[in-house]
Amino acid sequence: MKINKLELKNFKRFDNLTIDLSALTTPPKLVLLIGTNGSGKSSVFDVFELINKFQKGFIGSKDGVTPSEVIDLTPYYTKNSKTNPEIKLTTSDGVWLYNNPKPFKLRENAFYGRTSFRQTPKLLRTTSGTTNVSFENDSDRPRTFIDHDNRFENDIEKVSASILTDFFGKNSTEKIFESYINPINRAFENIFSHQNDLLIKLISIKPPLDGKIAEILFEKGNSLIPYDYLSSGEKEVFNILLDLLVRREYFTDSVYFFDEIDLHLNTALQKGLLKEITENWVNDNCQIWAASHSLGFIEYANESANAAIIDFDSLNFDVPQTVYPSAKNDFDIFEIAVSKDSLSNIFQDKRIIFSENKDTPNYNNLNIKDTIFFKALDKQDVYNKAKYYPQYFGLIDRDYLTDEEIEELRATYKNLYILKYYSIENYLYHPENLEEYYKTENKEFNKSGFIEALCLDFLKNKSILLTGILGARSGYPFFKENERHKLLEKFKNNKENLVNMFDSIDFETIYKIYPAKEYGRQLKERMNINRDDLAKTQWFKTKIEELLS
């Protein structure tokens, strides 16, 4: 089961929230909720647990009547106690409505969640069989996401009992290890691979018996280490893996949700753990929702084609909000984990270039060697970063600049790059770029006819464009420093050279100052083409690489 859309009203901190994944081609296997502490990530998981309660009969009766205990739940789940919360969950199975007299019935084990309060620093239980746990029904789960998750020692009892059952069933030692020990050790190899000779390895699991606590031994280098002596991060990884080993057989078509599984983990372990769980421990029929503001998690979700990032940061949930997946390769999402001031340290081997707003993901998709683009607010913001921070570069649209002015600007502001054409759209819809795109699509493209149509459109709108030039150029931030007043005066008076470009009969000359962002959109050769596809051509990549070389 996978979630396509979640709609909430009057639920905890949300006045009216929609998380919409429906525009994605296929529902993602991983949904990562990012945001600073207190941004509302964990409240989404309370929705899942409330649905869990309803599905398992803890609220109302099992035949689907209106919940009888909703009044008791109101103080915890409701933002405004005068109105009950509303939930609409659209899944690959169907639509589920909370408070509906005849709600759509989700599968029994539709959700499996772990709270952030699941750490077990020390084993304490000294006898087995002290709890009557139904693992199939997940009866030992915490009832809210502010309760402690005490399943770990139950997991130890369960896996110990399974090992004993297999042993007395005359299964070979090799088969027992392959079922219970080796899967965890393979995961350790993937997650802790950077530690080489100090790689942690699970050796044995013994249940709590005769007044003694469970004995779980690990090997690290030449040392044998009991569970209690592991680091917090190692315990966290083992806790998650053991729980999945024990319980995933009961949740084969479910939504898993994990709150802050990055606790106590460094960046490399964060990324390795999330990758391991997503790709190897939860099957493809399931979906994983995780909440974090950690760099490693964001890195993995940004790189994975089967992940969506939902950014809760800086959202006012007292007003209606509809949140869609963040664009991949929009590196501003990393600001959740690290400030822009620290970016040069985190990406110290990369060239960091700030570019104008929504163009940024298209530049990042080019995968230019050792280069990362970050989103700036506008041209002024790009200019300021390139001017005042020697470790950063900027890339701006050309707009209405002459070739000579660009040379002057590049000589003055060493870290500032300027597009050869008016804007990124001029590259995407350039005849050469369209020709490559149409060729890969095995479609006809009349390049000369398209160039002729562009020139006609330019001539048609020439007077309008000339009228707006002075107003546009007056807002440019260049040469306004006191020591550059002569350059500013020259820039203000440089109308003649620009007008000469408008009078040119050379296509490449006029195309440099032709606003393809606003004009030419009616031409049939441009219609019904995804601009992201146009940004993947070799021609576009080559032109941007040449510009930045």
Question: CA 267 → CA 21, 220, 346, 394, 409, distances in Å?
Answer: 27, 21, 11, 28, 40
CA-closest candidate to residue 467, choices 495, 426, 431, 435? 495
- Is this prediction's pTM over 0.75? no
Tokens describing residue 329: 């390769």
* 340 has pLDDT over 70: no
Q: Which helix (H) or strand (E) holds 396?
A: strand 392-396
Instruction: Give residue 342's pLDDT.
Output: 57
pLDDT of residue 65: 38
The pLDDT value given to residue 55: 72
Does the structure show a pLDDT above 70 at 470? yes
User: Hey, what are 35's tokens?
Assistant: 């945001």
CA distance 183 to 393: 46
Asked if pLDDT for residue 404 goes beyond 50, the answer is yes
Domain residue spans of the chain: 3-110+254-332, 152-244, 354-548
pLDDT more than 70, % of the chain: 90
What is the structure's pLDDT at 336? 65
Query: Is the predicted pLDDT of residue 450 greater than 90, yes or no?
Result: yes
Highest mean pLDDT among 75-89, 159-173, 499-513: 499-513
Find the radius of gyration of the CA atoms of the chain: 29
pLDDT confidence of residue 473:
85
Mean pLDDT, to the nearest integer, of 463-488? Answer: 87
> Rounded to whole angstroms, how far apart are CA atoms 46 and 57?
17
Neighbours of 422 (CB within 10 A): 22
Instruction: Give the separation between CA 293 and CA 313, rounded to whole angstroms.
Output: 10
| Of 244, 258, 230, 229, the residue nearest 183 (C-alpha) | 244
pLDDT in tens, 98-157: 766 455 678 778 899 998 888 888 888 888 765 678 888 888 888 777 788 889 989 998
**CATH architecture entry for 3-110+254-332:** 3-Layer(aba) Sandwich (3.40)
Two structure tokens written together for 69: 């205990």
The answer on pLDDT for 541 being more than 60 is: yes
Segment 303-309 mean pLDDT: 90
Mind giving me the DSSP string for 347-376?
A: TTTSEEEEEEGGGHHHHHTT--TTEEEEEE
d(CA 272, CA 270): 6
**81 within 8 A of 74, measured Cβ to Cβ:** yes
pLDDT of residue 338: 59
Neighbour-count burial for 496-518, b at 16+ CB within 10 Å, e otherwise: eebeebbeeeeeeebbbbbbbee
Alpha-carbon distance of 212 to 206, in angstroms, equals 10
For CA atoms 50, 56, 59, 60, give the dihedral sign.
positive
Q: 């969506």: which residue's tokens?
A: 308
- Beta-carbon contacts of 164 under 8 Å, excluding residues fewer than 6 positions away, are 207
Question: In this predicted structure, what is the pLDDT of residue 70?
Answer: 44
- pLDDT for residue 62: 38
For the residues 517-546, what does the mean pLDDT come to?
Answer: 94
Chain Cα centroid distance, residue 491: 43
| Rounded Cα–Cα distance for residues 348 and 304 (Å) | 23
pLDDT at residue 63 greater than cutoff 50: no
CB atoms within 10 A of CB 243: 21
pLDDT category of residue 97 using cuts at 50, 70 and 90: confident
